[in-house]
Amino acid sequence: MRHLPSRGGLRVEEAAARQPALPGPASPDMRFEATVHAGRRAGDLDAVAELDLDRVPDPEGGIRLLLTAEGAAALVSRGYEVRLLDVLPVRPLDAELFAGEGATLAWLERAVQGIERHQAS
């Protein structure tokens, strides 16, 4: 076995072993955070908005998406340049993020407070 140069005191093999395991290729349990750019064959980036893709805010005002491997491949096949920025595992939402019925009704009452209500006839 050939040993590769060390980085930061660890051999490359040891450093790689400490990295978290990622889902395998084309795993349904991963999404990519990506930016989309006009490629050689694709002109207008506004056409990306017509596709059914999950957009996320982009600090630079570009088009940033959450994509599956298939979604990224589809954009590339349409002529767009896709830059993968991060791998994000798919997992259930934290239950603490969900508001209960009582909290939701209380929020709604506060939100519509002061708005005149008409009784149904």
Q: Where are the domains of the chain?
A: 23-91
Q: How far apart are CA 31 and CA 63, in angstroms?
A: 16
With beta carbons less than 8 A apart as the criterion, state whether 100 and 91 touch. Answer: no
| pLDDT grade for 28, boundaries at 50, 70 and 90 | low
Q: How far apart are CA 115 and CA 104, in angstroms?
A: 18
User: Percentage of residues in the chain with pLDDT exceeding 90?
Assistant: 14
Does residue 10 have a pLDDT over 70?
Answer: no
**Nearest of 22, 48, 51 to residue 35 by alpha carbon:** 48
The contacts of residue 52 (CB under 8 Å, 6+ apart) are: none
CATH of domain 23-91: 3.30.70
Does residue 89 have a pLDDT over 80?
Answer: yes
pLDDT of residue 84: 92
